[in-house]
Structure 1
């Protein structure tokens, strides 16, 4: 949110993207569905074709007023020069990378990235002849040693997926820019508001808008906001690859944006209460919540972030599959699901051996089961009671010395 102070966030989320040319005088932009756009003259058609990079109706894939309003809103919230839209967060990541690589190039990817990001690098990029080097999320200045003459992208994700390491993004970006390398950030955890990417020299900020922006677990959507340096190339390449999204989904994302400020406050308040409770539990080895000192990279969270949300992990002192199953199967308010950012609480488990396929240079140095939770908008005391009962079930299967 580089254009706004912390105090202005709530107002920005309510007013962003509400230009009258998109809303036509009402509070919300209408859902404008279109494939074919018709023109009254050759001159009008030719003018629209020339303005292909602008926000002019031309063909449904370029977008409608509904899309243009949301794109404006995302730029107002995150900063940057423009916003490209994609059918999901993974599409935003993969197409942003594809927009800036060619055969023979090399990219640097954080080792603790989102699993589909790693799969994309190991399968699609490898097939294209693009080499990926994975780096430790805490590498800092050491990233210099991994840069090659053909390195074109440095990809960051902070906090990292599952294990929640917070990266020193400003240091990484500074070093990358010395070599004219494009810096990309998966900024989904911060929802574009708790970490201001363009204040820290990120070139492209990517989000799974599926998560906190939409906020209700009912839409798949991805965004990539780019600075002046990268916007034209990102926009053109994404357009050529056929990326487009439903105006109905965009409308729901815009609606979610309006309440995201108050939702994030509640997610933060509840998650901190749960995290601090877990930190005192005898079965818990440590808590990986960026706002707590026990989380790797906590110092960078304190320096760079404005706040947190409902997603974090904690590590149990032991690893026992049957005990973990007993914990998960009896939960009342926590459901098992492969997403987060909605109003509901979620829980998933990762045994230590599972990281062997998810990490190649920075395997976590703990031996207990990792539990990832998303703290939703339910009553926080009921959530704690649910976790307490789950840990009691877990304790019946293990012996803690």
Structure 2
């Protein structure tokens, strides 16, 4: 069946009178009828099965969400974590190793840089950044490269990359390629189908969709998936059944929500391009966006994110005043929920290789929610009139 259909039905009770969604199973201890039954459960778990054996290892509720995210990502198995950053750390703890090299795209989620500087480098991991191109990545690869990590599109201004080409390069050398897929959240792009080894997401964003749950996911196939599951158990990473239930509820409507976010953001992006003091609108669905052809090839649509780059004459104080003048756009550091958000962003501080951003105008990231586009446009128009007229 089509993905939109599967997301409504996967992980639901399959027989007999039952609730539409799986019940919330809250437990730490699981009891057994006999020691033989307990030992058989342990044997099945060691053979790669997923029996219900202990709350930290998962419950029927979290297993239902794992199955749904696996369908979303096109993966054999998924691990759930307490946040997106926890998902990043799970992958790094599993695949990186002291003394080896990892290569990270320069346009990744900014907190990853804190992980690099605060943990990986002191731990003895060599870290190099690449500009997203195949040529630059190839020039950095060594015999002890153990991981390549990227995010497509990039964070803040959505730099595109030729993901299949990057995957072909790393696969030929048997180097795992990890992709942060939060922007697309599975419904718009599936990295594993394009050759990536691991796809991770901050489910806090679009999967949950209601700004009320912290959650991350890591999806993979084969031996890599098995290693990730073992490490998740070792690190004690798990998600509560209550949060899993809410995330599963949000995931049921992910496809239709993402379609609305994309349509609203595309319409608003076109209007913003025509406003005074705007140098450009960063949005992969726009034909002038660098790498737009790759977006057309690899993605099924767009989401609610866009970033305004103002002319250099516009000051940071004016951008702050513009944000404070908005009535419908909240001020918050997350995105992916049903509500619209606005937040100034410092691209220069989030890049290591590109120096051009220090001489360009300030940027403002918008997450376009599910409100009527006409109302959002009117809100922006009154702020423009008040601050940038």
TM-score, with length taken from structure 1:
0.93
Measured at CA, do residues 364 and 232 of structure 1 come closer, stay the same or move farther in structure 2, by a change above 3 Å? farther
* Secondary structure class of the residue paired with 2:55: coil
* Matched residue count: 385
1:358 alignment partner in structure 2: 350
The 3-state SS of whatever aligns with 1:303 is: helix
Deviating more after overlay: 381-390 vs 318-327: 318-327
User: Is residue 136 of structure 2 the alignment partner of residue 142 of structure 1?
Assistant: yes
Q: Tell whether the 8 Å contact from 1:207 to 1:224 is kept in structure 2 after alignment.
A: yes
Query: Structure 2: how far apart are the matches of 1:126 and 1:155?
Result: 15
Q: 1:277 aligns with which of 271, 274, 279?
A: 271
Equivalent-residue separation in structure 2 for 1:162 and 1:169 (angstroms): 18
Take 1:216 and 1:363, find their aligned partners in 2: how far apart are those partners? 36
Deviation of 1:272 after TM superposition, in Å, equals: 0.5
Q: Write out per-residue CA displacement over residues 215-245 of structure 1, whole angstroms, 9 at most, x where no aligned residue.
A: 0000000001102241111111111111111
Structure 2: runs of 5+ lacking an equivalent = none
Query: Equivalent residue for 2:119?
Result: 124
- Runs of 4+ off more than 4 Å: none
- For 1:198, the equivalent position in structure 2 comes to 192
Task: State how far apart, in whole Å, the 2-side matches of 1:56 and 1:239 are.
Answer: 14
The structure-2 alpha-carbon separation of the partners of 1:304 and 1:364, relative to structure 1 and needing over 3 Å to count, comes to farther
Paired position in structure 1 for 2:21: 28
Q: Deviations over 1:359-382 (max 9, x none)?
A: 111245561111100000111111
After superposition, what is the alpha-carbon deviation per residue over 1:256-277, rounded to whole angstroms, capped at 9, x for unaligned? 0111111111111100100011
* Maintained 8 Å contact 1:184/1:202: yes
Matching of residue 378 in structure 1 with residue 371 in structure 2: yes
Do the aligned partners of 2:13 and 2:19 also contact (CA within 8 Å) in 1?
Answer: no
Say what the alpha-carbon RMSD is for the aligned residues: 1.6
Residue 156 of structure 2 contacts residue 347 of structure 2 at CA under 8 Å; is this kept in 1? no
Contact 1:345 1:376 in 2 (8 A): yes
Q: Distance in 1 between matches of 2:226 and 2:293?
A: 35
Of 80-89 and 356-365, deviating more is 356-365
Write the deviation string for residues 265-303 of structure 1: whole angstroms up to 9, x where unpaired.
111110010001111222211111110023222121011
- Structure 1, residues 373-399: CA drift from partner, whole Å, max 9, x if none? 000011111101111222223325xxx
Alignment partners' CA distance in 2, 1:357 and 1:282? 26
Give me the whole-angstrom Cα distance separating, in 1, the residues matched to 2:116 and 2:13. Answer: 39
Q: 1:326 aligns with which of 300, 321, 324?
A: 321
Q: 1:93 aligns with which of 88, 101, 126?
A: 88
1:273-312 to 2 correspondence within 5 Å?
Answer: 273-312=267-306
Distance in structure 2 (CA, Å) of the matches to 1:362 and 1:296: 15
Unaligned runs of 5+ in 1: 397-401
Verify: 1:174 aligned to 2:174, yes or no.
no
Match status 1:223 vs 2:217: yes
Residue aligning to 1:249:
243
